Structure 1
Amino acid sequence: MKRHASAIWQGDLKTGKGTVSSESGVLSKTQYSFGTRFENGPGTNPEELIAAAHAGCFTMALSGQLGNAGLVAEKLETTATLTFEKLDAGWTVTQIHLDVKGKVPKADAAAWEKATSAAKAGCPISRLLNTTITMDAKLEA
């Protein structure tokens, strides 16, 4: 299975502008810029998109783990807070914190802990930084 997204950038780093689009169309020429990434300008940024992907992936994985235990959630809500810091090596994602709330009838604290721990470890986005990154780079005239 492959998923596709693309980005277009025009101009220099500080005054240029870009758009991101996804295969599904959920993102369609969505604006991003220096201001949306390093300031509070309108639009999105790569780190916000990673946080959203992690929240979504983790929450689905948690639902699956609960299901494996014979439990069904009435509601699961996850907020992923990504920390993006300027270090000596440059801007770096240093942490993602998941704040998870769930309303799960018949679940006790032990079942909740087991399911959340397994979902955190097993979610594909949680494992993202351990992936192989490949690239094809073509310079157009």
Structure 2
Amino acid sequence: MIVRSGSAHYSGLGKDGKGHVSTQSGVLDRQQYGFNTRFEDGKGTNPEELIAAAHASCFTMALSFGLAKAGYSDGELDTTAKVSLDKDGEGFKVSKSALTLQANVPGISEEEFGRIADDAKANCPISKLLNAEVTLERTLLA
């Protein structure tokens, strides 16, 4: 089993609070987050942005491995994930992660590409983690 970690600290409460988030690898080290970075355009990050990056990278890696397993050895994959945070009663919930993929994989048919991409969407670990609708819009470039 592989275990990775992240941590967060928050000083003050509610809208006036300020936080920072860090990752085990140190790629994020005390990165600022808070109300203004989540619900406004403040400088820093927020949980939904981090989930979007995690989902895009997880899906793209799963697709890369799926394509390699199918015998393809060359290609380019570019994925964006847009995570939606919606009002849910008195709180909020992540309701959707919309993946948009542009790919160039020489020699693959649209049908095979779609099958492998759909499998990666359904089976990447972050897709499995999310309790939200996960969609995929894909473009295979010639």
Residue type matched to 1:98 in 2?
A: L
Deviation at 1:32, TM superposition (A): 0.3
CA contact under 8 A between 1:79 and 1:99: conserved in structure 2?
yes
The correspondence of residues 13-92 of structure 1 with structure 2, limited to 5 A, is: 13-92=14-93
Q: Aligned to 2:16, what secondary structure does the other structure show?
A: coil
Percent of aligned pairs with the same residue?
50
Q: What stretches of structure 1 of length at least 5 have no aligned partner?
A: 131-141
Q: One-letter code of the match for 1:125?
A: I
Measured in 2, the distance between the counterparts of 1:96 and 1:116 equals 15
Q: Deviations over 1:65-115 (max 9, x none)?
A: 111111134210000011111122521111110000101011110111011
1:60 alignment partner AA: M
Unaligned residue ranges in structure 2 (runs of 5+): 132-142
Kindly state the Cα deviation for residue 7 of structure 1 after the two structures are TM-superposed: 0.3
Q: Distance in 2 between matches of 1:73 and 1:88?
A: 47
Partner of 2:117: 116
Q: Is the 8 A contact 1:72 1:105 kept in 2?
A: no
Kept after mapping to 2: 8 A contact 1:73/1:102: no
More strand by share: 2
CA shift in 2, pair 1:99/1:73, >3 Å: farther
Q: TM-score of the superposition, structure 2-length normalised?
A: 0.88
C-alpha RMSD over aligned residues: 1.1
Q: TM-score, with normalisation over the residues of structure 1?
A: 0.89
| Equivalent position amino acid for 1:93 in 2 | V
Number of corresponding residues? 130
